Structure 1
Amino acid sequence: MQYVAIVTILLIIQYMAYMMFCGFARGKDTVVAPATSGDERFEKAFRVQMNTLEQLMVTLPSMWICAYFFSPLWAAGLGVVFMVGRLLYRQAYMKDPATRGTGMMIGFVANIGLIVLSLWGAIGQI
């Protein structure tokens, strides 16, 4: 389970970095809070941050359920795959949002894997 804990912390660090990038992109007086629009670079960073947050709501509980009922190594491995997908997603989105598909799909497939293995493992315990 320590691998799942390590991946969880790494995912939290990745998300915190995306929060910081979003804050930096807001810039001094460029996009004044509470506004969330007005500067393209900020809007991209904001969408990366929010999309990652939305996905983490699926990833983190699924990863821990998968670890408990199926396999900690599979859970941690799929968590790493998700994290790499999110990194590729961010890099693509910041350059051109239309190219974000590969990173998004990597993370999405990792989440599907976590959900399926979680359910399989839990049902197998009945």
Structure 2
Amino acid sequence: MKEHLPALVTLLTVLLMFGTAFAVGRARGLYKIKAPATHGHPAFERAFRVQMNTLEAALLFLPTLWVAARYGFAFCAGVAGLAWLAGRTWYALAYLQEAARRGGGFLVGMLAWMATLLMALVGLGRAMFAG
């Protein structure tokens, strides 16, 4: 099970990204924002920013998760990944309500991402410089 945790985290990340896309589509309908517009009602704009910020964060997070997992830290990277998911979910839900409330979730997600980055760097460094 431990070695499969990064795969589970990856699939949950995909579900989070789907959820944010769904929220944007729902907001488009509620506030009658026609595509390709990306501005309008503040609630739509928050949903749109949550989706874009989640995509941007996932682009940084997923490669570090998998490099860490590949180079000796599968379980620890998976645990950090669960923390990242919790932080990003907190971030998204808070931001959808009020932009100023997103800070705590952002911090948790950023610290978890930094942990996966550190594991990836250490793991790859050990592999590259080990005799």
In the alignment, what sits opposite 2:86?
A: 84
Deviations 1:2-55 (A, max 9, x none): 211111011101110110111111116711111000111111110000000000
State the 1:70 CA deviation: 2.8
Q: CA deviation at 1:67?
A: 0.4
Q: What one-letter code is carried by the residue in structure 1 that aligns with 2:88?
A: R
User: How many pairs were matched up?
Assistant: 126
Q: Give the equivalent residue in structure 2 for 1:31.
A: 33
Amino acid corresponding to residue 57 of structure 1 in structure 2? L
Q: 1:22 aligns with which of 17, 21, 24?
A: 24
Q: 1:116 aligns with which of 102, 115, 118?
A: 118
Q: Secondary structure at the match of 2:19?
A: helix
Alignment gaps of 5+ in structure 1: none
The answer for unaligned runs of 5 or more in structure 2 is: none
Q: How does 1:1-126 map to 2 (within 5 A)?
A: 1-27=3-29, 30-125=32-127, 126=129
What is the TM-score of this pair, normalised by structure 1?
A: 0.95
What is the distance in 2 between the residues matched to 1:124 and 1:29?
Answer: 52
Partner Cα separation in structure 2 for residue 28 and residue 83 of structure 1: 27
Q: Secondary structure at the match of 1:34?
A: coil
Letter in 2 for 1:82: W
Asked if 2 retains the 8 angstrom alpha-carbon contact of 1:70 and 1:120, the reply is no
* Alpha carbons 2:94, 2:101 under 8 Å: kept: yes
Tell me the SS of whatever aligns to 2:34: coil
